[in-house]
A and B are shown apart, each in its own frame.
Chain A
Amino acid sequence: EPEVTQTPSHQVTQMGQEVILRCVPISNHLYFYWYRQILGQKVEFLVSFYNNEISEKSEIFDDQFSVERPDGSNFTLKIRSTKLEDSAMYFCASRTSGGNNEQFFGPGTRLTVL
């Protein structure tokens, strides 16, 4: 069964450093998303991406964040200058172009900012 994959599974970085989180969505999916989950809290939407551009973003997704689909398979989230409060699980999700909003989530990347 096709699945969303994410790398790395765990990333430790120093405050102020740049990190890139990588995702490989399901191959025939056209909508891509990033969500985050601070430990013990709910899942929060960051950004959605369709047709090579951002279609929606939340207040969390400020100028420190960017997304890119550098080739036909990868979807990346970059945090330019990490802050302590960026420590969280980051989930990538994807879905097809049909009317159903069934989003499939990856296993997540745990980001720890020291």
Chain B
Amino acid sequence: QQQVKQSPQSLIVQKGGISIINCAYENTAFDYFPWYQQFPGKGPALLIAIRPDVSEKKEGRFTISFNKSAKQFSLHIMDSQPGDSATYFCAASSGAGNMLTFGGGTRLMVKP
């Protein structure tokens, strides 16, 4: 019930392409869905987040699409750059101050 499933595990994209990472959840009490970016040896850094009252949120090249009925959300990285090469984690939480449940992570490599 608490799981967040993330796919793919790894992704290779050419520079300038679109990177798409998908997540699915079961717990309908989840009401906050962030995406974190992690570089090797560093802590996760918040990239963008969405609440279920909107279906899409865009910040620069990063867009979250949210499908409440399907209990799925995805991260789109437009015009992917080699500097975007990192591990991306989706997460979910319910209520204020609550624990984040992370997906398994996607290792993205953007080839020049």
B103 partner residues in chain A, CB cutoff 8 A: 42
CB of A25 within 8 Å of the partner chain: no
Contact with B along A5-26 (1 / 0, CB 8 A): 0000000000000000000000
Q: Are A56 and B99 within 8 A (Cβ)?
A: yes
When each residue 38-49 of chain B gets 1 if its CB lies under 8 Å from chain A and 0 otherwise, what string results?
000111111001
- Decide: B43 and A106 in contact? CB cutoff 8 A: yes
Number of A-B contacts defined by CB within 8 Å? 61
Per CB-CB distance, the 3 closest pairs between chain A and chain B, nearest first, are: A105-B43, A45-B99, A43-B102
CB pair B98–A48 under 8 Å, yes or no, is yes
Question: Which residues in B have their C-beta under 8 angstroms from that of A95?
Answer: 97
Determine the interface band of chain A, counting residues with CB < 8 A from chain B.
20 to 34
B102 / chain A contacts, CB cutoff of 8 Å: 42-44
Chain A 90-106 per-residue mask, 1 if CB under 8 angstroms from chain B, else 0: 01000101011111111
- On chain A, the residues within 8 Å of B105 by CB distance are 41-42
Given contacts A56-B99, A108-B42, 16 further A-B contacts (CB under 8 A): A31-B97, A33-B99, A35-B100, A42-B102, A43-B89, A44-B102, A48-B97, A48-B98, A91-B43, A101-B32, A101-B100, A102-B46, A103-B46, A105-B43, A105-B45, A108-B43
A58 CB–B CB distance under 8 Å: yes
Task: Tell whether, in the assembled complex, residue B44 and residue A101 are in contact, meaning their CB atoms are under 8 Å apart.
Answer: no
Residues of A within 8 A of B32 (CB): 100-101
| Per-residue contact bits, chain B 18-44, to A (CB 8 Å; 1 contact, 0 not) | 000000000000001010100001111
**Could you give, for residues 58-96 of chain B, a 1 whenever the CB lies within 8 Å of some chain A CB and a 0 otherwise?**
000000000000000000000000000000010101001
A106 contacts across to B, CB distance below 8 A:
43
